[in-house]
Amino acid sequence: MAYLFKQKLNLLELANAAHRPKRVLIQEPEEYLAALYQHYLLEHNFDVKHCPDLHNISKFIIEGFYPDVLVFCADANFEGVRQFLSQFSYRFPGVLLIATGISSDSELVRELMSAGVTGHINRKLTRPQDLAIVIKSMIQ
């Protein structure tokens, strides 16, 4: 009897090579929530930085912190968020974008996804520690 199974192998785990932790940049205006996100992401071995303002994110990247994932708050004025997303996606195409917010309006989520966002996390329905799990599943 033969058994077939698919196993996902990570070559970095098999090789004895050092690798840098995945970088996450969090844009969250609420300091307490940002600190919670940072705490849980650091527990999962992510390199994390916090930027309270959406329009200062490019400064972090210019200073040398190029993220693998950008987590941003989508509760702000959507026109500004849309404009930011179009510029950011053009300048930094390899970065995964994850939106967080209180609103779960399907039209808003559809607009975010069409603007290049990979995922949306409704803060009313999730716990802060869920962000690390979502990011790990999207990166792998």
d(Cα 39, Cα 105) in Å, to the nearest integer?
28
Taking the domains of the chain in order of start, what are their residue ranges? Answer: 21-139
Digit-coded pLDDT (tens) for 58-99? 888 888 888 999 999 887 666 778 888 888 888 888 899 999
Q: For residue 119, what are the CA distances in angstroms to 1, 113, 129?
A: 41, 7, 16
Mean pLDDT of the chain: 84
pLDDT of residue 104: 67
pTM value?
0.82
pLDDT of residue 5: 53
- Architecture of the domain defined by 21-139: 3-Layer(aba) Sandwich (3.40)
pLDDT of residue 9: 63
Order of strands across the sheet with 119-122? 47-51, 23-27, 69-73, 96-101, 119-122
**Regions of the chain with pLDDT less than 50:** 1
